[in-house]
Structures are given as C-alpha cells and as structure tokens.
C-alpha cells in the first residue's frame, strides 16, 4: 500500500465487505484473460465468503480452470472538495482480499450457504426460503471463497474539522 497512513485493519476491511451491496470478484481464465463480476456475497466467518449462480456458464468455467480470485469492495464513496485546500478528492472505505474458490457439492452445506445469503439480502422474507430452495437447489451452484491471506482495508475520510483521519484514527 502506497499511503500507509490510510491503511485500516483486517477486521475493518471485513466490515467494509459486510456493508457493500456487492463485491467485485476478479479472476483469470486458463488463457490468462481477466474476468471480473460484481456479485452478491455473504461472509460467514473471518475467511469464508459465499455466492450462488447457475450450474453452468463462463464464471464457473473460469473458476474451474483457475480457482484463485481477488475480491474488492468500496463503500461510503463520496466526491468532495478538500475541506482545507479545496482540491477535488474522494472520501471512501475500501477493502481487498485474495482467496481460492471451491464449488460446493454437499447438499446440506449448499442449503446453509443459501440460507446465509438470503438472510443477508432478504431477512424479512425467510418464510419462503424452504420452498424456494426445494424448487431451485438442483439448478443452483454454490461457491465458497476461502481467503488465503488477511484482507486489506483502506480509507480516506475527513473529520468535522476538515482533517484527514489517518493511521486508523476513529471517531
């Protein structure tokens, strides 16, 4: 990280991932071509993220050929004029991480991952979960991402006095 003064903790980075409406998952195909998609992920512990998709398609083909992925998310993104110098700048919270995927075969694990995804995005609609899963489980792939190194957080944020909050300073 070039500006160490903006680096935040791994725990803080995980919170950014939790708050982001989507996380961009970047990967590389067998021939080295980049491929990235914004996906709706859920995190169930410090190292494990989940998403679901169709049981066939480019995303799964790429992940089967090369299971390494890069995650990135940005929240609290706000363009502004620098409070003290009038420069054009951007406040943000961001997080990145590196991981490895596996396509989950165990039916119980798949159901629990889908339950976690639904709880994150539709917690007030869970009364329909069992019926929806019974209709769609056979045509739904579940993918687990396990982080292979700690996530990295970065922030640019100003306090009420217009001073940048550096070195993880919280208020």
The answer to whether 117 touches 145, Cβ cutoff 8 Å, is no
Query: What digits encode the pLDDT tens for the residues 101-121?
Result: 999 999 999 999 999 999 999
Per-residue pLDDT of the chain (171 residues; tens, 9 = 90+): 677 778 899 999 999 999 999 999 999 999 999 999 999 999 999 999 999 999 999 999 999 999 999 999 999 889 998 888 888 988 999 999 999 999 999 999 999 999 999 999 999 999 999 999 999 999 999 999 999 999 999 999 988 888 888 877 787
Residue 60, sorted as left (phi over 0), alpha (psi -120 to 50) or beta, turns out to be alpha
Q: Which residue has the tokens 């700690």?
A: 150
Instruction: Name residue 104's beta-bridge partners.
Output: 142
Alpha helices in the chain (DSSP H): 10-19, 58-65, 107-121, 129-136
Q: What is the pLDDT of residue 84?
A: 84
Q: What is the pLDDT of residue 6?
A: 86
- Quick check: pTM over 0.75? yes
Backbone angles phi, psi at 155, to 5 degrees: -145, 140
């Amino acid at each position: 990280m070039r500006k160490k003064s903006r680096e935040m903790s791994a725990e803080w980075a995980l919170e950014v991932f939790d708050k982001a409406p989507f996380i961009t998952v970047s990967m590389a195909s067998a021939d080295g071509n980049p491929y990235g998609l914004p996906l709706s992920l859920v995190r169930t512990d410090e190292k494990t993220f989940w998403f679901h998709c169709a049981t066939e398609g480019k995303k799964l083909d790429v992940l089967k050929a090369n299971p390494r992925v890069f995650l990135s998310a940005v929240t609290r993104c706000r363009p502004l004029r620098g409070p003290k110098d009038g420069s054009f700048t951007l406040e943000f919270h961001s997080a990145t991480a590196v991981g490895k995927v596996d396509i989950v075969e165990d039916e119980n694990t798949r159901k629990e991952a889908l339950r976690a995804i639904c709880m994150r995005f539709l917690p007030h609609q869970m009364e329909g979960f069992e019926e929806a899963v019974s209709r769609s489980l056979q045509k739904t792939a579940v993918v687990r991402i396990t982080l292979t190194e700690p996530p990295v957080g970065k922030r640019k944020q100003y306090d009420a006095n217009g001073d940048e909050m550096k070195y993880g300073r919280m208020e």
